[in-house]
Amino acid sequence: MNANALPRPRPEIIAAVGASLTERLGARVTAAQAVLDQHSHGEGLPAVGVPDLVVFPETNEEVAFVLARCNERRVPVTPFGAGSSLEGQLAALAGGVSLDMGRFAKILEVTPESLDCRVQAGVTREALNAHIRDTGLFFPVDPGANASLGGMASTRASGTNAVRYGTMRENILGLTVVTPDGRIVRTGSRARKSSAGLDLTHLYVGSEGTLGVITEIQLRLYGVPETIVAAVCQFDKLEDAVAAVVTALQSNLEMARIELLDEVQMRAAIRYSKLDYAETPTLFLEFHGSPNGVREDVEMMQTITTDLGGGEFQFAERPEDRSRLWKARHNSYQAVMALSPGKSNMGTDACVPISALPACLLETKADIVASGLTAPIVGHVGDGNFHLGILFDPNDADETERAEALAFRTARRAISMGGTCSGEHGVGLHKIVHMEAEHGQGIALMKAVKKALDPNGIMNPGKLYP
């Protein structure tokens, strides 16, 4: 999308709103060019929309004040978290205000007895887990990047643990949301279920800042497993590795993590993270539970992988060995970038039903080869989700076009197989083109909700809705 496709507020309107916000927030309102540029994009797409102002609120009331003032003058607002989004969610396509939630960094309440906590939106997942480590609890949703929990809620994030613990959708009990007209609304409760009224909490989860601003999140927590064992299993063929995953899931084997890296991604990981493995399709596995339960799960998975041509398990049982293994997995994006210095990485993801995973992955692999591009495959295949890191030269029109076409075909292939164009990255700007193909008439309902809750269209315009 061209940033010029959306009208920007007139300079005098920005000046008036800026003066009002500065009177309330002082130096936490800035138009410094370096700060504006920093808030014009996330990790996945270049700057395509620079805000006019960046505001750093610290309380719910300040967020409400900012939104109310912007709503009065029809000034766009783009919420900004840790800046790790990949699909253009943070680009201020119509200018206006970038609302940086980084100062919302307080852990408000932890209740170990109820296995829950309440945090401000700017708290990162790593900060939360460091804070609760001594309680014997942890928060499992792990997208790799040290994202803010508000951003993870806004994009309905997932990650390596989702096959056992679910995504942000399953782990959010309630929210505090500020509406575009400045109302502070609390949704949900601390109860694990409710049949009282519309589910407003999950209306906002995944809305990508287009309906309001999430300022607080009530989260489920889990006890740290008694036994944790990680293992690596390598295969000669990609199809055998995928078949092992499908067989394990269909056997009701309760894995905590099942990550697939194709031979290209393994090459990148080995070079970047100094791993001692072969450059072949590989499964990174993790088992959680009691000692006996974990042993039984490991033995069953070993039987499955052996029957499908997998090699011997290489175990990582010590915490430092597990950390090194998963750090290498989480550094996949950086490892891919290091394969071709100077090129850009068009990271994209898709998700399909488990039964469709083998066909989807193998067709995608053949498509990558035919494209002539380097595009490693890595995925949380335990829930049918996989990623491509498509390397391309943004200054080469042909290569850029081929990269865009490969990402497009990957999304449409997943949709045609009963899946989705995104399992966890979200829609943002880059995947709007797939929304009608995936949702059909449901798009009209989404737009109706957007119009009802944000009638002046100030919240993250140009995103999510075709």
The answer to the question of residue 460 being in a domain is no
pLDDT tens, position by position, 298-329: 999 999 999 999 999 999 878 898 999 999 98
Q: How many domains does the chain have?
A: 4
Same domain, 92 and 136: no
Give residues with Cβ within 8 angstroms of 392, minimum separation 6. 343, 344, 346, 373, 399, 400, 402, 403
Same domain, 162 and 242: no
The pLDDT score that the predictor gives to residue 143 is: 87
The answer to the question of residue 457 being in a domain is no
pLDDT tens, position by position, 448-459: 999 999 999 999
Q: How many CB atoms lie within 10 A of CB 119?
A: 26
Q: Contact 144/236 with Cβ under 8 angstroms? A: no
Give the percent of the chain with pLDDT over 90: 90
Same domain, 114 and 209: yes
pLDDT tens, position by position, 70-111: 999 999 999 999 998 889 999 999 999 999 999 999 999 999
Q: Is 12 exposed, middle or buried (0-12, 13-18, 19+ CB in 10 A)?
A: exposed
The answer to the question of residue 272 being in a domain is yes
Same domain, 132 and 217: yes
Q: Map tokens 């014009």 to a residue.
A: 40
Decide if pLDDT at 371 tops 80: yes
Mean pLDDT of the chain: 95
The pLDDT score that the predictor gives to residue 3 is: 45
Same domain, 370 and 411: yes
DSSP code of residue 274: T
The answer to the question of residue 353 being in a domain is yes
Same domain, 239 and 325: yes
Give the percent of the chain with pLDDT over 70: 98
Decide if pLDDT at 9 tops 60: yes
Same domain, 232 and 306: yes
Alpha helices in 172-290 (DSSP H): 200-204, 238-250, 263-273
Same domain, 311 and 373: no
Give residues with Cβ within 8 angstroms of 248, minimum separation 6. 255, 258, 300, 301, 304
Structure-model confidence comparison of residues 24 and 46, the more confident one: 24
Torsion angle in degrees (nearest 10) through CA of 342, 348, 354, 357: -50
Decide if pLDDT at 46 tops 80: no
Give residues with Cβ within 8 angstroms of 267, minimum separation 6. 279, 339, 376
Which of 223, 257, 272 lies at the terminal end of a domain, its last residue?
Answer: 223
CATH number of 270's domain? 3.30.70.2190
The answer to the question of residue 448 being in a domain is no
Structure-model confidence comparison of residues 288 and 48, the more confident one: 288
Which of 333, 352, 367 lies at the terminal end of a domain, its last residue?
Answer: 333
Range of the structural domain that residue 199 is part of: 107-223
Mean of the pLDDT values across residues 111-120? 98
CATH number of 433's domain? 3.30.70.2740
Of 19-33, 41-55, 395-409, the range with the lowest mean pLDDT is 41-55
The answer to the question of residue 99 being in a domain is yes
Torsion angle in degrees (nearest 10) through CA of 200, 206, 212, 214: 90
The pLDDT score that the predictor gives to residue 286 is: 96
Q: How many CB atoms lie within 10 A of CB 307?
A: 12
Decide if pLDDT at 201 tops 90: yes
List, in sequence order, every beta strand (DSSP E) within 139-250: 172-178, 184-188, 213-220, 222-223, 227-234
Mean of the pLDDT values across residues 394-416? 97
Same domain, 205 and 258: no
CATH number of 171's domain? 3.30.465.10
The pLDDT score that the predictor gives to residue 43 is: 82
Token couple for 396: 């080469």
The pLDDT score that the predictor gives to residue 1 is: 46
Decide if pLDDT at 347 tops 70: yes
The answer to the question of residue 254 being in a domain is yes
pLDDT tens, position by position, 431-453: 999 999 999 999 999 999 999 99
- What is the rounded distance in angstroms from the CA atom of residue 401 to the CA atom of residue 397? 6
Same domain, 207 and 282: no
Decide if pLDDT at 47 tops 70: no
The answer to the question of residue 459 being in a domain is no
Same domain, 18 and 92: yes
Decide if pLDDT at 416 tops 90: yes
Same domain, 61 and 131: no
